[in-house]
Amino acid sequence: MLAVDKINLLNLNRVGLERFFVGCGEKPFRAKQLMQWVHQRGVTDFAQMTDMSKSLRDSLSDQACIEFPRLVDTRKSADGTRKWLLDVDGVENAIECVLIPEKSRTTLCISSQVGCTLNCSFCSTAKQGFNRNLTTAEIIAQLHLAHHGLLAEGQQQGITNVVMMGMGEPLLNFDAVMTAVDMMCDDFAYALSKRRVTISTAGVVPAMEKLVDNTDVSLAVSLHAPNDALRDELVPLNRKYPIRELIKACHSYVDGYKSRKITFEYVMLKGVNDSLEHARELNKLIQGIPCKLNLIPFNPYPQAKYKCSDEKSIDRFRKYLADRGIITVTRRARGDDIDAACGQLAGQFKDRSRRSQEYQLGLGEIGGMIHAH
């Protein structure tokens, strides 16, 4: 049952939980105990938290809850990629998160908003419009679900990496995302190293500046075009924060921090941004920034007005930059047999009646965002 007047402890990081327990007349260390139960052992029933007194457990049940979005559907691809569809507003909205297993790591691609405001011209999430920000609880629930799902299947390690590359712009939901990141990295929760948590942004410059001193997470920047004229068209946010400001913010993030590096993302759109001239411009732009460049072959979806660049152009582009010392990798699409290839995270919305009907029939085509990192 949804407990409207109870506080959902899934929204609180360690500092928040300490404050909560102190407010209840308890010692702050209860926060660590609770985090271990919920996030490490996957126990969400207060009654089972046996290192807390019966009276504390009872009072927790009275005032608090641990509330997850409902799991609507899961899909598994032949290559091991999986995705989960989660209900975040009754039956009205759903979001997706995607799991990408690789030899040495297991990456979870997480959503930060229901829909997106940015309206990038090649992105299918943009076509869904924007509904709302996710809460910290809804963000961390994606990790909880995937991680404990894997452990329950007998896997030793669970999730090792998180990328905020699902639906939405994480830096436009700054506080909720940063609180969730705290929990991902907390030793009493998922204990992921900051380097293994990546925030991907289309270039919200003021929020990038806030990140500089706040955290050490890995930063990915969706560049997609090497000049303002083209980027204005592909990533309309560029009209607000043009390339010069964006590149300056990238410098601020890495300069003076030896181990920091930016990952630039560049979607390969046939005849749009994939010429050698674009590669030349791009090289000039990012030379001197400690970085890695990911070329993402465009993944088409119904109504997309772009095509993916052909292999030859992608390779020519990659080689031009690699020859000039930029670490450049072409990403491999994963999970395409469950429509989970990169860049199509669509979820499900109330107003998309065709899709929701398909879902009820179990035939639903859902997009997913997969990156082979």
The residues in 28-47 that bind ligand SAH, with binding defined as CB under 6 A, are: none
| Sheet strands (E) in the chain | 7-8, 64-65, 70-76, 82-87, 93-101, 106-109, 113-115, 130-133, 161-164, 197-201, 218-222, 262-268, 291-297, 327-330, 348-349
Enzyme catalytic residues: 96, 342
Size of the site for ligand SAH (CB under 6 A): 19
For the bound state, the minimum distance from the C-beta of residue 330 to ligand SAH, rounded and expressed in Å, comes to 12
Which neighbouring-strand residues pair with 264? 221, 293
Asked if 269 is part of the footprint of ligand SAH (rule: CB under 6 A), the reply reads: no
Q: Which residue sits closest to ligand SAH, CB atoms considered? A: 343
Pattern 324-363, ligand SAH, x by CB under 6 A: ------------------xxx-------------------
The CA distance from 82 to 98, in Å, is 6
Out of 20, 21, 46, 122, point to the residue binding ligand SAH (CB under 6 A): 122
Asked if 145 is part of the footprint of ligand SAH (rule: CB under 6 A), the reply reads: no
CA 260 to chain centre: 19
Nearer to ligand SAH, 26 or 96 (CB): 96
The CA distance from 77 to 54, in Å, is 45
Asked if 296 is part of the footprint of ligand SAH (rule: CB under 6 A), the reply reads: yes
Q: What is the DSSP string of 331-348?
A: PPP--GGGT--TT----E
Nearer to ligand SAH, 49 or 267 (CB): 267
Maximal CA-CA distance, the chain: 70
Asked if 174 is part of the footprint of ligand SAH (rule: CB under 6 A), the reply reads: no
Reading the block at residue 130, the tokens are: 């924007």
Q: Yes or no: say if 178 and 146 are a contact pair by the CB < 8 Å rule.
A: no
Query: Would you call 198 helix, strand, or coil by DSSP?
Result: strand
Nearer to ligand SAH, 3 or 232 (CB): 232
Out of 33, 133, 218, 222, point to the residue binding ligand SAH (CB under 6 A): 222
The residues in 181-220 that bind ligand SAH, with binding defined as CB under 6 A, are: 200-202
Out of 44, 128, 131, 299, point to the residue binding ligand SAH (CB under 6 A): 299
> What is the chain's percent helix, strand, coil content, to nearest 5?
40, 20, 40
- Chain positions contacting ligand SAH, by CB under 6 A: 120, 122-124, 165, 169, 200-202, 222, 265, 267, 296, 298-299, 342-344, 369
